[in-house]
Structure 1
Amino acid sequence: MSDSMSSGKILPRRQAIPVLYTRGTHYEVGFDMGRTFGSMIKNFLIISLPLNETYLPLYCTPKGRQIYNETLESVKCSFPQYVRELEGVADGAEVEFHKLFLLHLEEILPQALKHQPRSKNQPTGCSSIIVNQNHCRILGHTEDALTETLNHYYFVVAHVVNDKPQGKYNVKEEHFMSLCYAGTLPGYTMSHNQHGLVFSINTISAEVLRSAKTPRQFITRALLATSNVDDAFRVLKDCGIGAANACSINMTFLGDPRQMCYNIEMAPHPERKNESFLSIKEIPLGAHNYHTNQFDRINMDQSNDLMIDSSISRMRTFSTYKPPASEQDVRNMLGDDSDGCHCVWRENGSPDEEVKTIAVGIFDLNGKTFSLYSDNPSRTEPHCKLPLLYK
């Protein structure tokens, strides 16, 4: 490990995007991720403020440990293969499993304990734009995260093969590509799979969260194994358990003859305790859609005032543009930095800046390509353009 990584130093924005191609069981794929990106994962565990200032101290309390154990046991019942995958990451990187699982509990632990740090230790957000025109079908997305997450991400192209069906949906094989934060499961950023599924995620902070439910990162990890729209909705509903926390999913299937896109808001169900609450919006051919980090349709209390203020500001910025009709329009909108501390492209250069846009992705649904930018997409070219894994 280099001196800068082992010391926990936060590096300036790097113009590099590592990619791992891996094949094997869930544990083997996880181990390859951990072994390949071990120094990055170790460094992130050192510098992560939420982990070190909030999650670990709460984990050391009796109530916090109870919430951790209840949630882990619930996930093991539904998705034991993804727990094994995360165990593989921990073993490959030679780090403690409980620290990686705490990254997936995120706000569940502090919110369930009503321990609510309102600033640096909160989830952050992202912006997504869907353009669904005959001549231009685009899903564009900014990946916004706490500043220490900058340079701590990588691509995983994985072919998961098992001898026996795995988990409650009896999955034997998965083939997908996903952008991953260091030490976390694939599926909670920008992803696509061999069945033509393309999706991005917007974090939403619901006020009331519960333990013993399925963390959103495990639900979106399961989404990577789906093969059609109904299958995807079934995974998001998570019947029998339900989502522990909230997010928005922007998605489509490349092979859908209707060429329909969707925005799905997912939240813990306020009445039925054993399934997620879903609000599904169709975005048909000829339409477009924007989504940030607040509920647009679900009437539910939200926490994290800073993220709500930022979401309102970014949506207001989008409203100043004409409806996007090209990839360049989407790049210009996602690169907009005109609105001060709550702009769409988030990097004002301040040393105490809490949130940055760490990457931007553009899915070209007609061209079946994915372009990733590590800098402002309105002023730079993509670092890579990869073909979508669609058979």
Structure 2
Amino acid sequence: MPVTEIAGRRQCIPILYTEGTHYEVGYDMGKTFSGMIHNFLKISTSLNHCYLPCYETSEGRKAYEDTLNCVKSNFPQYIRELEGIADGAQVPFHKLFLLHMDNIIAYPCRKECEAKPQGCSSICLNEKGQEILGHTEDALSETLNHYYYVAAHIISDKPEGKWKVTEEKFTSLCYAGHLPGYTMGCNHHGLVYSVNTISAKVLRPGKNPRHFITRALLSAENFAKAQEILRDRGCGVGDACSVNMTFLNQEGNRLFHNAELGPADKTDESQLNIFTASPGEYFAHCNKYLRTKLDEADPEMSKSSVCRMEAFDKHGSPKTKKDVIEMLGDTSNSKYPVFRDDPNDLVMTIAVGIFDCVEKTWSLYSDNPKKNDPLVVLPLVLQK
């Protein structure tokens, strides 16, 4: 009997629980989701029409080797993790690494990628009894149904990498074939966070790609360590993003932070600008710098971000979790909605997460949260 592919948005969020070394955890991810990873590599427009052609040029190959050597030097354990994914799924390692380099591989080739991500909207609400981080995970439409959640416990027999980490315990949404970290997630130290892609005009091969910086963020024990990881002194990030975060077990009042991250241009550390929301405040962030003065490369991404922020403003300042859900489910702008559900559009919202820092839960939606209940509500488990 022929296998029929189910079209459209599926009401399904696979979750893998795994424990072991970095390589073993990566292998489990690759083995478990092999079919999904194979299919994603086959249909990925960015990989097949931009990254791989650039990889075949002398300029692109140099950028690849310089960046790979940099990551091996700073985060060898995450390279082993990615090798585990490649081996488990039986796919070429270089294809997975190219996905993590993203447009860094295209920069020296001066190649404009046809399909560029434009997504993710985050809201942090800091009201008494209503301490919420909400996030839409937006990605190229081909990514729909090509993601999963990984809950991992990694123990090393010796300190690993730049930050000498011996243990990591976290849960993260992962795109097929990608390392955990560059989406939304939490760890057993109480870190809760989401990531918004930003398209910087100047990119830097030979630096740490943002995917590896946010992978390292999953090891952060406190806000001071999170800042240290993002700043990445001695190297710096090669591209750009923003991170929205809080720590559940911090002392004193709840604080939410937005960190805008820029490429290490002619320096050995990331450009970093941090905004903090105290009790009684809220902030939203999409895919455009709000404070950092850096040129951006994608006008469409900027326009989309402005429209989504305008949609948020029309709601006024949120006061409750319900308000945040209403805002993240907003479709009032037909061309640039907050929740994107047009299968003919370049970008779709593939999932929504609502972190409740009071109840210590993470609600996961695969559809518009205004109209649907979460598919699952996970507890945020902290280190004892």
TM-score in same-fold range (> 0.5): yes
Preserved contact between residue 60 and residue 105 of structure 2 (Cα < 8 Å): yes
Give the alignment partner of residue 329 of structure 1, picking from 323, 332, 342: 323
Q: Is 1:19 aligned to 2:15, yes or no?
A: yes
Q: Does 1:371 align with 2:363?
A: yes
Kept in 2, the 8 Å contact 1:198–1:253? The answer is: yes
Report if the CA contact (8 A) 2:204-2:264 is conserved.
Answer: no
Q: Secondary structure at the match of 1:148?
A: helix
Q: How many Å apart are 1:122 and its aligned residue?
A: 1.2
Work out whether residues 125 and 281 of structure 2, in 8 Å CA contact, stay in contact via their aligned partners in 1. yes
**Counterpart-to-counterpart distance in 2, 1:202 and 1:292:** 6
Q: Aligned pair 1:50/2:42, yes or no?
A: no
Q: 58, 61, 78: which is aligned to 2:57?
A: 61
Q: What is the distance in 2 between the residues matched to 1:135 and 1:174? A: 29
The answer to whether the Cα contact below 8 Å between 1:11 and 1:151 also exists between their aligned partners in 2 is no
Moved over 6 A (4+): none
- The one-letter code sitting in structure 1 at the alignment partner of 2:334 is G
Structure 1 unaligned blocks of 5 or more = none
Q: Which residue of 2 aligns with 1:262?
A: 257
Q: Which amino acid aligns with 2:329?
A: G
1:190 and 1:146 map into 2 onto residues whose CA distance is 17
Quick one: distance in 2 between partners of 1:357 and 1:268? 26
Secondary structure of the residue aligned to 1:306 is helix
The amino acid that maps onto 1:56 is L
- Aligned match for 1:78, one of 64, 74, 81: 74
Residue number among 130, 138, 144 corresponding to 2:124 in the alignment: 130
Match of 1:213 in 2: 207
Is 2:152 aligned against 1:174? Answer: no
CA distance in 1, matches of 2:13, 2:151: 13
Residue identity matched to 1:25 = T
- 1:34 corresponding residue in structure 2: 30
The alpha carbon displacement at 1:269 in A equals 3.3
Tell me how far apart the structure 2 counterparts of residues 44 and 79 of structure 1 sit (CA, whole Å). Answer: 25
Are residues 1:153 and 2:129 paired?
no
- Matches of 2:151 and 2:16 in 1, distance apart? 6
Cα displacement string for residues 127-181 of structure 1 (whole angstroms, at most 9, x for unaligned residues): 0000001120000000000000000000000000111110011101000000000
The equivalent position to 2:302 in structure 1, one of 284, 308, 330, is 308
User: What aligned pairs does 1:237-386 form with structure 2 within 5 A after superposition?
Assistant: 237-257=231-251, 258-271=253-266, 273-349=267-343, 352-386=344-378
Give the whole-Å Cα distance in 2 for the aligned partners of 1:3 and 1:99. 27
8 Å CA contact 2:117, 2:347 repeated in 1: no
Q: Is the 8 A contact 2:239 2:262 kept in 1?
A: yes
Distance in 1, matches of 2:244 and 2:48, equals 31
Structure 2 gaps of 5+ residues are: none
1:302 alignment partner, SS class: coil
Tell whether the 8 Å contact from 1:106 to 1:123 is kept in structure 2 after alignment: no
Q: 1:3: Cα distance to partner?
A: 4.3
Superposition pairs of residues 221-240 of structure 1, within 5 angstroms: 221-240=215-234
Q: 1:32-79, CA deviations, whole angstroms, 9 ceiling, x for partnerless residues? A: 000000000000000000000000011011110100000000000000
Post-superposition offset of 1:389: 2.0
The Cα of 1:123 is off from its aligned counterpart by 2.4
The amino acid that maps onto 1:41 is I
> What is the CA–CA distance in structure 2 between the aligned matches of 1:374 and 1:364, rounded to whole Å?
18
Aligned partners of 1:362 and 1:372 also within 8 Å: yes
Q: Residues of 1 paired with 2:322 and 2:342: CA distance?
A: 23
Q: What CA deviation, in whole Å up to 9, does each residue of 1:202-254 have, x standing for no partner?
A: 00000001110000000000000010110000000001100000000000000
Deviation at 1:353, TM superposition (A): 1.5
* 2:87 pairs with one of 91, 107, 131: 91
Q: Which residue type is aligned with residue 28 of structure 2?
A: D
Q: Using the alignment, how far apart are the partners of 2:25 and 2:117 within structure 1?
A: 27
Question: Is contact 1:132–1:261 with CA below 8 Å preserved after alignment?
Answer: yes
Give the secondary-structure state (helix, strand or coil) at the position aligned to 1:110: coil
SS in 1 for 2:120: strand
**Cα pair 1:341 1:348 within 8 Å, conserved:** no
Return the offset for 1:111. 2.3
- Number of residue pairs the alignment of both structures matches: 381
Alignment partner of 1:234: what SS? helix
Deviation at 1:10, TM superposition (A): 8.1
Helix, strand or coil at the partner of 2:94:
helix
> Distance between the aligned counterparts of 2:259 and 2:196, measured in 1?
10
What amino acid does structure 2 have at the position aligned with 1:106?
Answer: D
- TM-superposition CA deviations, 1:95-149 (whole Å, max 9, x none): 00000000001111112332123xx421222000000011200000000000000
Instruction: Please tell me whether the aligned partners of residues 31 and 93 of structure 1 are also in contact (alpha carbons under 8 angstroms).
Output: yes
Q: TM-score, normalised by structure 2?
A: 0.97
Q: Which residue of 2 aligns with 1:107?
A: 103
Instruction: Give the CA RMSD over aligned residues.
Output: 1.2
Secondary structure of the equivalent of 1:107?
Answer: helix
Does the 8 Å contact 1:138/1:363 carry over to 2?
yes
**Contact 1:81/1:167 (<8 A) preserved:** yes
C-alpha offsets along residues 177-207 of structure 1, whole Å, 9 cap, x if unaligned? 0000000010111100000000000000000
